């Protein structure tokens, strides 16, 4: 049986936790909503998947290699709210106390780190589950790589991608390049939305073939592709995930360690997380019983 590695898109989790809950504060009056939401989501994930190997991957502030080539990349994105920023160090501290590794590399997005580790893991016989609501990650799916959308609970394999988007994972870069992405400030082909992109990719297989046969397209569409031809090369660079980052981490290094329940209990007390404190107490009782059984 394959070893299972779970890679969590920590940056998307942060925002989801921050916006999903009403503002919470600790007894000291510090904001704690994102911390609480994040912990709850990770806790649910661990219960459901019980991974032996796991990492949470974050974006770091600052520019990436994509910004160097394309200044406007993500230029329309809003700054991380200060109320979320102040909660991030505590979230990372809790993840580490839980025995889970954190991965972040200056100049690279979380998506590229995940793509690189997933490729290494598959090469070593692992099965990989990437936890993210980000559709850009669909390009990584193959026989051993799956996407779990934490919002909907759906698990995507090749056929599920085809069912939902009408195309296969290996066509996803071309698909995203054509439709563009307002969030990342990527301008697609004028008049080409998801349905048109899906239809063209099913007819021609890939973007290269569409451009080679653009004379067969309706005049308006042909004109739009001619106008966007140079930009599409840029788009492909921007949406393609980098699978070969120079990162000195092996999948085996991501083995989940034993949680430090005492330190976690102290933090949850400090933050006023009563329900999480109860969970910790339950875990301690279970661990004690297991220890007692193994003594005799």
pLDDT for 7? 98
Residue 237 CB burial class (10 angstroms; 0-12, 13-18, ≥19): middle
Q: Residue 8, class by beta-carbon neighbours within 10 Å (0-12 exposed, 13-18 middle, 19+ buried)? A: buried
At 290, is the pLDDT very low, low, confident or very high (cuts 50, 70, 90)?
Answer: very low
- Quick: pLDDT tens for 240-276: 999 989 888 999 999 999 999 999 999 999 999 998 8
Q: Give the strands of the sheet with 53-57, arranged side by side.
A: 101-103, 53-57, 3-9, 126-131, 145-148, 155-156
Neighbouring CB atoms inside 10 A of 63's CB total: 12
Domains of the chain, earliest start first: 3-166+242-286 (3.40.50.1010), 169-239 (1.10.150.20)
């Amino acid at each position: 049986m394959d070893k299972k590695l779970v890679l969590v898109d920590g940056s998307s989790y942060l925002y989801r936790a921050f916006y999903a809950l009403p503002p919470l504060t600790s007894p000291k009056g510090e904001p704690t909503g994102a911390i609480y939401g994040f912990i709850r989501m990770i806790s649910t994930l661990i219960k459901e998947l019980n991974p032996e190997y796991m990492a949470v991957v974050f974006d770091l502030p600052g520019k990436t290699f994509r910004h160097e080539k394309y200044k406007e990349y993500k230029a329309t994105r809003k700054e991380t709210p200060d109320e979320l920023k102040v909660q991030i160090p505590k979230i990372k501290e809790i993840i580490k106390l839980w025995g889970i590794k954190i991965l972040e590399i200056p100049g690279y997005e979380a998506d590229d780190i995940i793509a690189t580790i997933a490729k290494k893991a598959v090469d070593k016989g692992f099965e990989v589950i990437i936890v993210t609501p980000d559709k850009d990650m669909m390009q990584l799916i193959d026989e051993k790589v799956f996407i779990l959308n934490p919002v909907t609970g759906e698990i995507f394999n090749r056929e599920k991608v085809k069912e939902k988007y009408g195309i296969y994972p290996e066509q996803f870069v071309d698909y995203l390049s054509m439709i563009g992405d307002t969030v990342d400030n990527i301008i697609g082909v004028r008049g080409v939305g998801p349905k048109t992109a899906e239809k063209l990719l099913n007819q021609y297989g890939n973007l290269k073939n569409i451009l080679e046969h653009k004379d067969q397209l309706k005049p308006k569409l042909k004109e739009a592709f001619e106008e966007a031809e140079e930009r599409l090369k840029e788009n492909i660079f921007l949406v393609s995930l980098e699978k070969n980052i120079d990162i000195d981490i092996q999948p085996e290094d991501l083995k989940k360690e034993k949680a430090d329940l005492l330190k976690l209990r102290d933090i949850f007390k400090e933050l006023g997380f009563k329900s999480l404190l109860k969970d910790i107490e339950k875990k301690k009782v279970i661990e004690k019983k297991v220890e007692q059984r193994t003594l005799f």
